[in-house]
């Protein structure tokens, strides 16, 4: 589907906002919360903010592919930002934007629940991202990553390691809930911003 010049301007704006959030807030959070950065807190916060920005942008460009294009702009800005090319965050941004597109396609109509589904699918990637990237970048096996995730999750939740399955389910479920909530917020925020600008 072709985008108008107006559409491309909005895509660039919201992609730039997402990229700016990644370059600024993301960097600060990784410094503040280094022990939990890879497994839980920082990745989930940044993915949720990315979902909100991209889906608000979808209100302005209600076309298939708009969210992915917003993600592409954000990934490019992340690539050329301070610190050079960081493959992990770039892959995450692109994967999250593709999964949001998938959720919107499944929903078919431009609805709140489509946004909720899109957000939940995007945050689901945040759970699997570490397994995939650690394997391809560092050659670590699934069990090794799983063990590390369980250990950090147990520390975060302050429960025994014997509850490994419960910990993993919780870490996935909380991401799905956070993503759905981000989609819910994006629906309301996007409509408010769009309506005000339309006036």
How confident is the model over 101-135, as pLDDT tens digits?
A: 999 999 988 899 999 999 999 999 888 877 776 66
- Does some domain include residue 147? no
Residue 38 sits at φ, ψ, to 5 deg, of -80, -25
At 64-112, the pLDDT tens digits run 999 999 999 999 998 886 655 567 788 889 999 999 999 999 998 889 9
pTM for the structure as a whole: 0.86
Number of domains in the chain: 1
Domain around 194: 5-139+176-198
Residue 152 included in any domain:
no
Q: How many CB atoms lie within 10 A of CB 31?
A: 10
Percent of the chain as helix, strand, coil, to the nearest 5 = 85, 0, 15
CA distance 166 to 137: 28
């Amino acid at each position: 589907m072709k985008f108008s010049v107006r559409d491309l301007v909005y895509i660039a704006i919201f992609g730039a906002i997402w990229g700016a959030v990644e370059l600024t807030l993301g960097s600060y959070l990784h410094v503040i919360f280094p022990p939990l950065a890879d497994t839980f807190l920082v990745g989930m916060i940044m993915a949720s903010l990315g979902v909100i920005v991209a889906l608000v942008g979808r209100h302005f460009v209600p076309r298939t592919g708009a969210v992915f294009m917003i993600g592409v702009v954000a990934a490019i800005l992340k690539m050329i930002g301070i610190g050079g090319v960081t493959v992990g965050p770039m892959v995450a941004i692109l994967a999250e934007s593709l999964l949001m597109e998938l959720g919107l396609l499944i929903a078919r109509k431009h609805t709140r629940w489509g946004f909720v589904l899109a957000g939940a699918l995007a945050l689901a990637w945040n759970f699997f991202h570490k397994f995939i990237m650690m394997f391809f970048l560092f050659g670590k096996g699934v069990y090794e990553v799983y063990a590390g995730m369980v250990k950090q999750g147990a520390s975060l939740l302050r429960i025994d390691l014997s509850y490994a399955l419960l910990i993993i389910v919780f870490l996935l479920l909380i991401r799905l809930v956070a993503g759905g909530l981000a989609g819910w917020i994006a629906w309301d925020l996007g409509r408010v911003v769009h309506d005000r600008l339309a006036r």
